[in-house]
Structure 1
Amino acid sequence: MQIAVTPDPGSWVVIPEFPPPGWARMEAQTRSLLLDMTGPQWRAAFANLLEELRRTERGTALARLLHVGEGGHQIFAVDLSLVIAQDDGSKEGRRATQRALIAELLPRPHEPQRLRPAPRMAGFQAVSEDTEAGTTNRPSAVVVLRMAGLPTVPVDLVMKAWKATPEIVASALDDMVALGHVVAPVEALPRTPES
């Protein structure tokens, strides 16, 4: 299922799958001005990071973002995907499904914490017990949210944080959870007359 996300550009960079030529360099220049980090070394390192994230394989239909905290801190990648839920839609079924997703994606999690970031959104978040930077296969943290009223079938939004240690990701989990408010399946987006 395709996913669309429109995050706060002050904290997030959306990594396009097929960017125009020079995209990473231009994004790094813009971001360095926003963060008041105008050194050429930082800009070059940031452009290289954006290119690396773009080239890292995407296993399924997902959106990839880079979190950039204030002052260029809390930098980590997040992959977002929508997973059709195979449960009966009850609270117990949803919780079992979401806990199973976390267990599958995060081999050594701390105890998952329940989330209720909005009246029509519920789920769990968990951070890895590992101390090393996460990868796409072994993320640092996972957030799973069920959002009522998306498509007609129950769908969980799965967010995997990687490219930083669990400690760094844990300090910005609220920003990650907030992404649930700006995500929609592509099929659910309003159509314009041109499309």
Structure 2
Amino acid sequence: MTEPSSHLDTTADAYDSFAVVYAEFARNYLDPLPLDRAILAAFAELVRDTGPVAELGCGPGQTTAHLRDLGVDVFGVDLSPKMIDIARETYPDLRFEVGSMDALDLADDELRGILAWYSVIHAPPREMPAYFAEFRRVLAPGGHLLLGFFESGGDPVTPFDHRVTTAYRWPIDELAKLAADAGFLEIGRMLREPLEGERFRRGHLLMR
């Protein structure tokens, strides 16, 4: 088995085993996060009425539903079949599919927007350029990408003990450069300091 497949299998299995607990934990997670809601609202305003939008790494679907409530034509994709089962049961009016964000079952230029909300965090750093290349492939010209991730606070890319499986904290400038190398133009960024109960600074990159 190749190393990338091993990484994907490990991530899918970890989220499958944690799916029910994770879904309950994440149910209303945006309620105390006005800055996070604000950048999601900005993204929604940019992609609303432009065409289909995908949340890649949608988990149990709560952020996909949040975008739907903001008027976005959105569907969700996740590596974990059990997460997708929960999402479909919780939000039967929305479309959810099992898939990997590095090899999407989508045509070139099919999407007008991509939300990767704390989902690229499990990608080994050497694989991140391939993820950006796939995002670029499926996004139509002028389409928008919003990333949410754990920011390293000036340190190099750093693995940490995420509660589900190994994840990585990124310097925001380095992640922005990888996106730029793949053909994305940065529109804006937002850094948020950790709240009580959070360990790390949160990074957000909005790109076209």
Given the two structures, how large is their TM-score scaled by the length of structure 2?
Answer: 0.25
Q: Greater RCO between the two (CA within 8 Å, min separation 6)?
A: 1
- Greater share of helix: 2
Given the two structures, how large is their TM-score scaled by the length of structure 1?
Answer: 0.26
Which structure has the bigger radius of gyration? 1
